[in-house]
Amino acid sequence: MDRRRTLAAALVFGLLACGRDPAQDEYFAALEAADRGAPLEEQLAHVERAIAIAPEPRAAYFQMRAGYRTSLGDLAGAEADYGRAIELSEQPYLRFQRANLIAHGGEPERALADYDRAIAAQPENAQFYRGRALARAAVGRAAEALADAEHLMGELPQQAETWHARGVARLALGQARLALADFDHTIGAQPELAFAWSSRAEARERLGDVQGAAADRAQAEKMAEEKAGCGYCLHPWH
Kindly report the pTM of this predicted structure: 0.85
Cβ atoms of 166 and 146 within 8 Å: the answer is yes
Residues 43-67 have a mean pLDDT of: 94
Cβ atoms of 25 and 17 within 8 Å: the answer is no
- Is 12's pLDDT higher than 50? no
Cβ atoms of 204 and 218 within 8 Å: the answer is no
Domain with CATH 1.25.40.10 in the chain: 20-89, 109-238
Hey, is 39 helix, strand or coil? coil
CATH class of 109-238: mainly alpha
The H or E element spanning position 143 is: helix 142-155
219 vs 10, more confident: 219
- Is 46's pLDDT higher than 60? yes
What are the pLDDT digits (tens) for 84-100? 999 999 999 999 999 99
The chain-wide mean pLDDT, for the chain, equals 91
- Is 14's pLDDT higher than 90? no
Residue 228's pLDDT is 86
- Is 8's pLDDT higher than 60? no
- Is 4's pLDDT higher than 90? no
Residue 19's pLDDT is 54
What are the pLDDT digits (tens) for 140-174? 999 999 999 999 999 999 999 999 999 999 999 99
Task: Identify which of 21, 5, 237, 223 has the alpha carbon closest to the alpha carbon of residue 138.
Answer: 237
Residue 9's pLDDT is 41
* 20-89 placed in CATH 1.10.150.120: no
What are the pLDDT digits (tens) for 182-227? 999 999 999 999 999 999 999 999 999 999 999 999 999 999 999 9
